Structure 1
Amino acid sequence: MCGAGPLRMPSAGGTYVCLGFPAGGGGAVLRRASCGKVKVMARKGWRRIVGAVASVSALASLAAVAPSALADETGAVSGVGSFDGAVAQSPTMSQAQQQTDAARKALKEKNDKLQAEYDARQQSQPDTGAREASQVNYGKPSGPVYIGLSTSRWDEKTQQDVSLWKPGDNSMVPYINVTVKGLESGVEYCTDLSQYNYDGVGYSDGYSNACAKASGSTATFKIYLSEVHAESEGFSGKYKTDPVRLYAHVAKRSDIVRGEYSESTSDKLVVSDKTGVLVNFKKLSDVVSISNLRVEDIGAQTVGLKYDYKLDAALKDKVAQICLTTEVYRGYSLDVVKNAQTNGTGTAWGAPEYCGGSDVVSDNDTSADADAKREDLHKIRTGTWSGTVNGKAATIATYTYQSWTRFNTHDLSELGGKLSGTVDDATVTMLNPSTKYGNWGGSNAYAVIQDMIKKKETHRTDPWSSLQTYLQVKFTDGTFFGTNGSGWWGYDDDAAYKKQSVPEFTTKSLAASAESSLTAGNANNVNGSNGGVATAKSKYRIYIDNLSKECKALANKGESMCSWAAYIYSSPTRLSTPDGQNALVRKEPQSGRYYVDVNTPAGYQGTHKIALFNQDAKLQGWTSVRFPVSKFDDVTSKTPHAADIQWLAGTAITEGWKNKKGGFDYRGMNSVTRQDMAAFLYRLAGSPSFDVSKAGNPFRDVTSRTPHYKEILWLASTGVTTGWAERDGSRTFRGMNSVVRQDMAAFLRRLADYEKASPALGADVAFGDVSASTPHSADIAWLAKTGVTTGWTERDGSRTYRGMRPVVRQDMAAFLHRMNANVLK
């Protein structure tokens, strides 16, 4: 059942395709409709054949395309909108062309047959008095029918077309006044204009201009025309612009089945004109042009586009706006499994977004919801491709990418009302810093997957980039040239949408914060994996334990992520990542923690800070990461505890001091200060996650500027240290005091208790200088039974501990190594 279609064309299978009216206007205005078996579809993946008109041969071809191959693309005005750059797996273009050719041939044969049947019926029927008395007069069409004109847009939220067209004398949609004589006075009639003399009439609510009461014996109908055409050319994209003859058919409204178009109404016709009126056609793509697209004002996250436009003089006083639509589709990584094979062929017949779609965010909207929307648009998505591996169905490829649509709209009045000129402020936003954009590797992942399979590759970074612009023109009657957000099937997209490729460019680097600005207060509980120890030239995971709600929501979906940049200090250097050029915030399934992965550079030793910044260059947090020192210049095989010192360096528990030669010194005979002891113990414990911003500080002599501030507060939070109680009731840590051996015994025993260690204990060791009154005597005895200390053997054979003696760094290396091996394990 057709909605309100006065124009109809049979499909190759004999099912009628609706060419319907928009609400509020009458006549041959084509819009999205469904009829019988053939449905005009808009499903996920491609949006095709909705809005103005689709050739019948294209509709017939649509039936050959699997609906599951369709996907979604949406957009926004004067801002950004989403664009799903997914590629459908479908029949090849040559296969579709063959199907179209066959459908077109069948269509022509059917049309010829129907026309012959109609002519024979007309000749065999005697003319009635009503037919003899009637006379049809056609006024001059108010203008040509513009091929490429859209009267409605696709609404992503409602999944329906929304009519935008406002009828009027200056409309881009032309009209014809049709006057019919010889009618019964006071009776309401409806009329249709039909191609091929198909004699039927229908009506629907709002279809008022094509229905009228006869005054005397005459009625005049004002019929608007949208895109209609003669024999379509299907996928060739070459629509004929020859004049088309349309014929008027008139019936009493009371004789018409409401809302239907049926051959049964032919028996009720009072007029079935055989003269017709010629209607001219013109391609909008011939009267709208864009040229000289160039790149200017390249920033870290933005680029300015400049272009020349030209509109035909026939469009004067009809143009309201011009809009440049820019589609950003950038691949960052692509992984293909071994022995993979693809199924079928990937195609990408795409239509740009309607400039003013339903999924929008304006540049001027600074609300939290708008910020969240921009974050969502900028996210990195994960895509997969299905195929076979060793003959079995499998996911053969995984890739990361970004895709969104940017709109830059200008009222023609802003451009001085000129029909030609230059637009120099079409800015594309939300780009990534230090990133190349342009067009390479094809427009989607599929072509790259095929090439990688052919070359037996399993990974590529920056596999493809597509950066295309399209010009859309909005007219004063609400219609527009471009796309309704659903797309067209079979139309010449490049011509219809004025497609232009953006020249290649690389965005500038963001100025990362100076290292001095990275303080304990803005670390934001960011922690390195592996106890904060990283290996040079390898993948390293960094956890973000205070992640924002917006980024958590994206990471929880598993298919989209916040895209950040990671910098390593002293001189801030941007780190590359396994996913390309962005640090993607993901959720770790086993732990539920959020993280980014980065590639550490070669040649790094010692402690370095790694800071994370979002796409707006705002600091999200930082952490200190320790790279093992390969050797100390002042340690030789003769140095006491040389092996223990090397173990300490290899585990990055210590890095010593950088010397003037660029190497590192350990300074084994220096005493260990209490603040250094805090760092040693924190690292020995594995550098556990600790949010210093939420920790209490019990010590009046410890501030955020104190060396190893985080480690001191962690040590206090575990109960390993309590400091000193001062006379005024405050407590102090005395970080620059040297650690004496008896205090060290207490530190190590308490750390073992905190870690709930259960070491094997040996026999008691009697130290001649340790008694029950010695501070921490029980801890000293425990330390000896674990084998962490042996003390000194004196000349008389006795053993001493020398508890008040400061601990030197080379002895501390031995204590920590034994503690790890004998106690913490």
Structure 2
Amino acid sequence: MTMTSDSHNQKHHHAGRDGERTRGAQSAGAPRRSRKRWSLVVAIAALAAAALAVGSPMAAGTAMADESSNTSVDTIDTSDQIDPKHMWNTDNAIGAGAGESAPVDIPDTSAASPVTDGTTDESSASAAGTVTDVAADSSLDGNDSSATTGTVSNAVATNSAATVQLASTSSSVTWGTDGDSKTFTESDGTVFADPAMKVIDVSKWQGTIDWAAVKAAGIDAAIIRVGYCNNLDSTFVENVKNAEAAGVPFGIYLYSYADTTALAKLEATFVADELDEYVTSLRLPIFYDIENWSSWTDDDGVVHSYPTSASAFQSIVSTFTSTLAARGYDNVELYTYLSFANSYLNTTSLESKIGWIAQYNTTLSYTYPNYDGGRGWQYTSSATVDGISGNVDMSAFDEYAFLDVNSRSTAHYSDIKWLSSQGITTGFANGTFEPSANVIRQDMSAFLYRTDGSPSYTASSSEQATYSDVSSSTPHASEIWWTTANGISTGWTESDGTKTFRPTNTVLRQDMAAFLYRLAGSPAYTPTAADMATFTDVTSSTPHAKEIWWCASVGISTGWTSSDGTATFQPTSTVVRADMAAFLHRTYDVMNG
């Protein structure tokens, strides 16, 4: 009898070990390619000197699925998806450092475009206002979420808190702790981020950095300047190499001088080239630094001035982001300062990309309208950090576990972070986790194996011959054979008598329930009448009904609750990676009670 189950999602693009994708990035020390550069010559007299500072155990994708054990199941794949640096504002500037005061002359191989990089951060010391900190870990799979929504408590553990006093204010912001995570609190008691990351941004103005000392000082991440326009920051390669060696996660930023879409495309191409050549993976986004800059004249006599309309910036930002997306870099956000955001970037589309804001004050008045990602607030340019000579910009960020997983907007963030901390997933080679991607069966096997502690196991010859579609070259072949040897998976028996595992088929929720139940040791369980009434779409004829009810009874899954109060499980929906993280974490807790 031919089995029909776990229909394969053709959009699934995971390949290689543990489903990891690679972009083919070279190492930080790889030789440079030659490329065209703009000759940039400019005299900037209008700007005062200012500081520019912002300057895998196994691969990801392992999810759980509960296969239909040798019963013909017609499955439905509904893909259960969860569906800058700074130019000053002359008002209330706090703290200025040494900016680039002389013209920068770069060999001209293209057109001439004079650019200098003399900038400072703006601040608004007079700005008041508060930012309400809401845990926005909305559930991917309805109520199957471990996240709670609501206002985060302002209570902060201050026994190990670090207080940062800003030069022109009498109050302070506070770094504290909450369990094993940092918190960041504004002077009025508003919790900006919990959990929080302490993030510096650096460029050539910081000189040679001792990255090991930076890490030891408690810095969680950095944002490294790749350059300005299409000019490489002279310390970028060194900073990337040494930050990686010290284990300091990072993102990058580019200071933009684009006033046309052509220049925006040039800048994006430059960024992609540098990332391809020197960066293996990013933990924080690519930030496009949008702010005021002085006019400059290119070799053709064309005067370039920063745009003064949101529509012009919309075209520039759209070109920059789409060009990078075409090169495989789609996590691009904007950095700017408060007054610029409120005047030139105040459209829904642009606001949806502003993830990092500069406002040098002890309270933040920007509310991140239309933005739902991880937030960053650059609150001072006068921080001091071991390993760096002089002052450095400091920001508070919502915590990032992966480039596309943050504590504010990613469902099941704490579960994904737990999976990473336990070595159950390392994400993809490009630094992402892909929380909304479907789980496939070969990855699910790896996740199950690691959740059980990666026990010692060597497949026998007979075990290796179990499935006609699994060989030693199949990703996670050993883990697939392990799940079979331990009765967690049985695969399908085809009409010719052979058995198949269907490694790249997606995992259904009903199959996931069976896998988790078996991983937990198939505990004795008889569903009660109340258990059997938990979900309106699960009956005794549903494949793996008992296992589904067991998952609900021990708190592994709660399904979706409708407005009328009834709950559904959606047995034939596909499991996505974020949900899988929650299921695995909860199963682990059940197993280790």
TM over 0.5: no
Instruction: Compare relative contact order (CA 8 Å, sep 6+) and give the higher one, 1 or 2.
Output: 2
Normalising by structure 2, report the TM-score. Answer: 0.31
More strand by share: 1
Normalising by structure 1, report the TM-score. Answer: 0.23
Larger of the two Rg values belongs to structure: 1
